[in-house]
A and B are shown apart, each in its own frame.
Chain A
Amino acid sequence: MALAEITGDISSIGYGLAAIGPGIGVGIVFAAYIQATARQPESAGLTRPYLFMGFALSEALALFGLVLAFVFSNPA
């Protein structure tokens, strides 16, 4: 007897898991930028390119998860 049944695609769950790490990473990147700007307001322009670079590099991992979720999904 089946108590519970789940239908659907496990790759969606995989993408959800894959988004955890980059989510934390992007949070850390922005937290560090806010902290740096609060301590040294005149450095805001200097560190902004690094903010976006760090953001983009961490975000790329989540996007890989999204793409791979589609690659390994079974079209019903």
Chain B
Amino acid sequence: MSLQLAPLADSSVPWPPSVEEFFPPGLVGNWVTKFSIMVWIAVAVIIVFFLVTQRNPKIVPNKAQWLGESVYSFVRNGIAKEVIGHEGPRFAPYLTSLFVFICFINIFAVIPGFQISPSSHIAFPAVLALISFGLYWYQGIKKHGLGHYIKTSVLLPAPWWVQPILLPIEFAQILIIRPLTLAVRLFANLFAGHLILLVFTLGGFMLWNAGNIALAAVGVISWGMAIVMTLFEAGVALLQAYVFVLLTASYVQTSLADEH
């Protein structure tokens, strides 16, 4: 592998990437990474966005207020009410913040100059998944009590001889599988997207430098594909934010559901 990538090392492309790439140049201290700066930017932009759009609400909204309200009502009506039901609006503020935050940190994957999302670092999706995990356990325990909550979510209506297989699966589901898949889905989507962009961009450099006119033409096509995949990646970033919030809402809904 390292032999095939040797042309990259000779060219001006910074290859191979190392851990040092995560640290912005000129800043002292290893507690600030590019990811933490991106998260700060995202948080600042979200705070300013909602402050500006909702600072002076009117009955007839102007454009900014309309934008802020349509984001909120999309999550409130499209996810919270749709999935959780009449108790949904209670969770709408958290779900909206989550949705907008994940949208912003995901979209860094395609913004020139950043081109990598904090979500492609497992720590950030893991913390978000842990919050969702805490949320649906807390809501389930608050509504049913610990024992009853576990009983309602683990004991499904099935023939008794299926239960030995079903019980461990359902138990692992609420304890391990749900938060793990939440975190890994977000992480792997953005990580894979980053890899695909790298493959087409650096692959283009390798083909361009291959010293063959036909291969150089393929390299240009490869760069074109990199642009197409950037647009695709933007779609995936927003879709994954939607999916994360949708699944969080669905887990809260199963915690709040009454006995089958």
Contact of B246 with A52 in the complex, beta carbons under 8 Å: yes
A41 on the B face (CB < 8 A): no
Interface status of A32 (Cβ within 8 A of chain B) = no
Q: Is B141 an interface residue (CB 8 A)?
A: no
17 extra interface residue pairs, beta carbon distance < 8 Å, beyond A53-B243, A57-B181: A49-B78, A49-B82, A52-B239, A52-B242, A52-B246, A53-B246, A56-B185, A56-B243, A60-B184, A63-B184, A63-B188, A63-B189, A64-B181, A64-B188, A66-B191, A66-B192, A67-B188
- Our pick among B2, B78, B185, B242 for the contact of A63 (Cβ within 8 Å) is B185
Q: How far is the CA of A60 from the CA of B82 in the complex (A)?
A: 23
Size range of the chain A interface in the assembly: 10 to 19
Please report the C-alpha to C-alpha distance between residue A76 and residue B4 in the assembled complex, in whole angstroms. 12
B79 within 8 A of A: yes
B-chain residues with CB within 8 Å of residue A56 when the two chains form the complex:
185, 243, 246-247
Residue B1 CB within 8 A of the other chain: yes
With the chains together, A57 CA to B192 CA distance in Å?
17
CA distance A56 to B185 in the complex (A): 8
Minimal Cβ-Cβ distance residue in A for B83: A49
Inter-chain contacts of B83 with A (CB < 8 A) = 49
12 contacts between A and B (CB under 8 A): A8-B1, A52-B242, A52-B243, A52-B246, A53-B247, A56-B243, A56-B247, A57-B181, A63-B185, A66-B188, A67-B187, A67-B188
Could you tell me the distance between the alpha carbons of A56 and B189 in the complex, rounded to whole angstroms? 11
A49 in contact with B246 given A63-B192, A66-B192, A76-B1 (CB within 8 Å) = yes
Alpha-carbon gap, A35 to B128, bound state (A): 35
Indicate if the CB atoms of B192 and A60 lie closer than 8 Å: no
Which residue of B has the minimal Cβ distance to A55? B243
For B246, what are the chain A residues with a Cβ–Cβ distance below 8 Å? Answer: 49, 52-53, 56
| In contact, A76 and B2 (Cβ under 8 angstroms) | yes
Bound Cα distance from A63 to B79, whole angstroms: 24
**Closest approach, in angstroms, between the C-beta of B2 and any C-beta of chain A?**
6
A21-51 with Cβ < 8 A to chain B: 49
Report B19 CB to chain A, min CB distance, Å: 14
